[in-house]
Chain A
Amino acid sequence: MKDRALATVLHRARVGSMVLVRLGVPGWRSARPGQFAMLQAEGSGCFLPRAFSVHAQREGSSDGSEVSFLIAPIGAATDELVALSPGDRVWALGPLGRGFDILGELPRHGAPGGSGRLLIVGGGVGVAPFVLALERLREIAAASTGGAHSEVLLLFGFRDAVQADALTLFEPAVAALRAEGVPVHLEGICEDGSLGRPGLVTKLLEEHARSGDAVIACGAHAMCEAVWDICLRTGDGLDAWFSLEAGMACGFGSCLGCVMPMADGVLARVCREGPVFSGREVFGEARHPCAAPDAGGGGS
């Protein structure tokens, strides 16, 4: 966070059931994947801003950076944001929180103890942060030191074909990462079977997870629990990080409203200690009793 900025809507595009909103944000400081911003339409009828993951960003000209958000309309504030037109203004505070900061540190190709495969699991609008993650992986690969991931798998779950339109958002970033020589596999699944067989994203993960991989995930809480359960069942060394959601009033550690219980019982603030937590931190080592393989999936 630098300060609260009045951003301008540069572009708005419907992507299936979601809307991609690109803002020109004065004074924006580059976000790390998984970080979020608090957004509120100017003149909003809502009292508080809402949290949104940074979807993509392009470093600034003199009038600021271009920062995109993928928004699923589910209530008053998101309805307002998806109805904005170019030229409309939005209050933006960010970037905030701890992102998938482990990306640069994960075992890569040939590293001891790791296969170097990275699995990216998203459900519904939970795919939002992963364009920025791919961009970061491309930077890591381009910087050559430390090598690249031997493979990146994007496993995304959606409710239906309309929601699955979000897959198209990933094509440029996938191509760019491939151009750096990293094999990338992008696969989607829909609950209603409109992309082939019906199922939840955890079905894809079951098929692809191998010991030594690393997982980063974002989606409904039940999906995250089910993903962690698969990690535990797959055996030692399959580590995972999750971007979690909680209702937030401030986004900067002042209200103590966004807490979530960690595995050790301590309440952590999703806005400051998170939103990205390791599986061990949030779910612990024991398998969750309700995390049957089909407990979570697409949805938002």
Chain B
Amino acid sequence: MNDAHDATVGSGANAPSRTPHGLATRLGPIELSHPIINASGTLDLFEVAATLADVDEAAAAAFLADPPVAAYVPKTVTPHPRPGNPPPRILETAGGMLNSIGLPNGGIEAFVTRELPRLLSLPCPVILNVGGFARDDYVEVAAVLRVALEEALGEAHEEALGEAHEAVVVGASWLSRVGLELNVSCPNVHTGCMSIGSDRDETAAVVAAVREEWPGLLLVKLTPNVTHVVPIARAAAEAGADGLSLVNTFKGLALDRVSLKPYLGGVTGGLSGPAIKPLALRIVYEVRAAVDIPLVGMGGVGSVQDVLEFLACGASVVAVGASGFRDPWKPRTLAVELEAALEARSMALAEVIGMAHE
């Protein structure tokens, strides 16, 4: 699974640290220097920095001053603190891994006081990922975040508030720096979340309700654990989503080799990694054909070829998930490689996006 590029392109301090050119793009009101971000729950910039700081404070500061992602998506926050699922939480499986993390987090109150300030100190935009168990959970968290952001960064632009996401003046307010991603698709909690995202009407209701509260970029992260993603994608778009993140993990099960009982503490888990790439690509491809809002593609991305394929299927931004566990600098490396790959094809980023459909 170590892709060939690993061998030739260094990482970390060895990786080219320049920002790739010609890859600038945007997600609604948010400008991105390139189209590669991280998938929620798979990269903690501050933990990487703390780990670097153990041996080199300067390297840690440099990492945060120039993060390896075009925008940073932190782990899901829920209204109340959650300890997460009991261990064991992860297991490598053929071509990927199963996880049953269970959305551990300190809850929105702690998030606003402890996480938000340092997130806003990052030089890149952030896309805050919110999870819940009922419609009101999402609305409540969005409202709390909006108030906190207005306090920290000033009120959103007048026009922007009036006409939702249409009239946003880019750069005029926090709307160009902070987005929201609704996680209606976590398979590792037993109520809400994925059951909301598996239901077209529930998804539409959550999105519409959050849309009322949230003037900025609104992404909805959908689950692949349904027979047809397209109707849910369409419902989310019609309810006011600015973009869709495709996909969360596929619900799976692994047994303990010896006892033949479920291995993971949470019993079932979410499958991610190269094993799910063809499944995720298919979903991005189908949704692109049916829905006309930007897509963030993810599922097994580990090489520049994977990035090109998600773009070609119709994603305009690509997220690196579990592959970042073996290399936290992966998104930056892929962006640099993408620049070279586009140059070799004499193509602009915009020309590749959706080309599988032509």
Distance to closest chain A CB from B67 (angstroms): 13
B2-A249 in contact (CB<8A):
no
CA distance A258 to B14 in the complex (A): 28
B1-A2 in contact (CB<8A):
no
Which residues in window 95-134 of B have CB below 8 A to A? Answer: 95-97, 99, 101, 104
Which one of A44-52, A172-180, A194-202, A282-290 contacts B? Answer: A44-52
A272-B51 in contact (CB<8A):
yes
- A35-61 interface code vs B (CB 8 A; 1 in, 0 out): 000101111111111000000000000
CA distance A30 to B302 in the complex (A): 30
A247-B55 in contact (CB<8A):
no
Distance to closest chain B CB from A245 (angstroms): 11
Residues on B with C-beta less than 8 A from A95 are: 54-55
A43-B89 in contact (CB<8A):
no
Residues on B with C-beta less than 8 A from A46 are: 1, 92
- Knowing A6-B7, A44-B2 are in contact, say whether A254-B48 is a contact too (CB < 8 A): yes
Residues on A with C-beta less than 8 A from B47 are: 252-254, 272
- Tell yes or no: B12 within 8 A of A by CB: yes
- Knowing A27-B13, A267-B87 are in contact, say whether A256-B104 is a contact too (CB < 8 A): yes
Which residues in window 247-266 of A have CB below 8 A to B? Answer: 247-250, 252-261
B101-A252 in contact (CB<8A):
no
Nearest chain-B residue to A31 (Cβ)? B55
- B1-26 interface code vs A (CB 8 A; 1 in, 0 out): 11000110011111100000000000
- Tell yes or no: B224 within 8 A of A by CB: no
Residues on A with C-beta less than 8 A from B317 are: none
B12-A4 in contact (CB<8A):
yes
- Contact partner of B84 (CB less than 8 A), chosen from A2, A3, A49, A259, is A259
Distance to closest chain A CB from B59 (angstroms): 6
- Knowing A4-B12, A42-B2 are in contact, say whether A49-B326 is a contact too (CB < 8 A): yes
Which residues in window 39-59 of B have CB below 8 A to A? Answer: 41-44, 47-48, 50-52, 54-56, 59
- Tell yes or no: A81 within 8 A of B by CB: no
CA distance A272 to B327 in the complex (A): 17
Residues on A with C-beta less than 8 A from B96 are: 47
Distance to closest chain B CB from A247 (angstroms): 5
Nearest chain-B residue to A95 (Cβ)? B55
Nearest chain-B residue to A260 (Cβ)? B87
- Tell yes or no: A91 within 8 A of B by CB: yes
Q: Identify the interface centre among A3, A5, A47, A93: most chain B CB within 10 Å of its CB.
A: A47
Distance to closest chain A CB from B198 (angstroms): 24
Nearest chain-A residue to B101 (Cβ)? A256
CA distance A252 to B75 in the complex (A): 15
- Contact partner of B328 (CB less than 8 A), chosen from A44, A248, A254, A256, is A254
- Tell yes or no: B310 within 8 A of A by CB: no
- Tell yes or no: A29 within 8 A of B by CB: yes
B90-A257 in contact (CB<8A):
yes
CA distance A95 to B273 in the complex (A): 25
- Tell yes or no: B88 within 8 A of A by CB: yes
Residues on A with C-beta less than 8 A from B327 are: 4, 91, 93
A249-B322 in contact (CB<8A):
yes
- Tell yes or no: B329 within 8 A of A by CB: yes
CA distance A84 to B78 in the complex (A): 45
Q: Identify the interface centre among B15, B41, B325: most chain A CB within 10 Å of its CB.
A: B325
Nearest chain-B residue to A32 (Cβ)? B54
Q: Identify the interface centre among A38, A45, A49, A256: most chain B CB within 10 Å of its CB.
A: A256
- Knowing A47-B92, A259-B84 are in contact, say whether A3-B2 is a contact too (CB < 8 A): no
Q: Identify the interface centre among B7, B14, B47, B274: most chain A CB within 10 Å of its CB.
A: B47
Nearest chain-B residue to A252 (Cβ)? B51
A4-B90 in contact (CB<8A):
no
- Tell yes or no: B91 within 8 A of A by CB: yes
- Tell yes or no: B324 within 8 A of A by CB: yes
B89-A256 in contact (CB<8A):
yes
B97-A249 in contact (CB<8A):
yes
Distance to closest chain B CB from A29 (angstroms): 4
Residues on B with C-beta less than 8 A from A3 are: 11-15, 59, 329
- Contact partner of A2 (CB less than 8 A), chosen from B43, B59, B89, B104, is B59
Distance to closest chain A CB from B298 (angstroms): 16
B54-A1 in contact (CB<8A):
yes
- Tell yes or no: A143 within 8 A of B by CB: no
A40-B326 in contact (CB<8A):
yes
Residues on A with C-beta less than 8 A from B59 are: 2-3
Nearest chain-A residue to B63 (Cβ)? A3
Across chains A and B, which 9 residue pairs bring their CB atoms closest together, nearest first?
A3-B12, A253-B47, A257-B90, A250-B325, A29-B55, A254-B44, A249-B325, A252-B51, A4-B11
A40-B2, A247-B88 are known; give 8 further A-B pairs, CB within 8 A. Answer: A1-B55, A2-B59, A44-B1, A46-B92, A89-B7, A249-B99, A253-B50, A255-B90
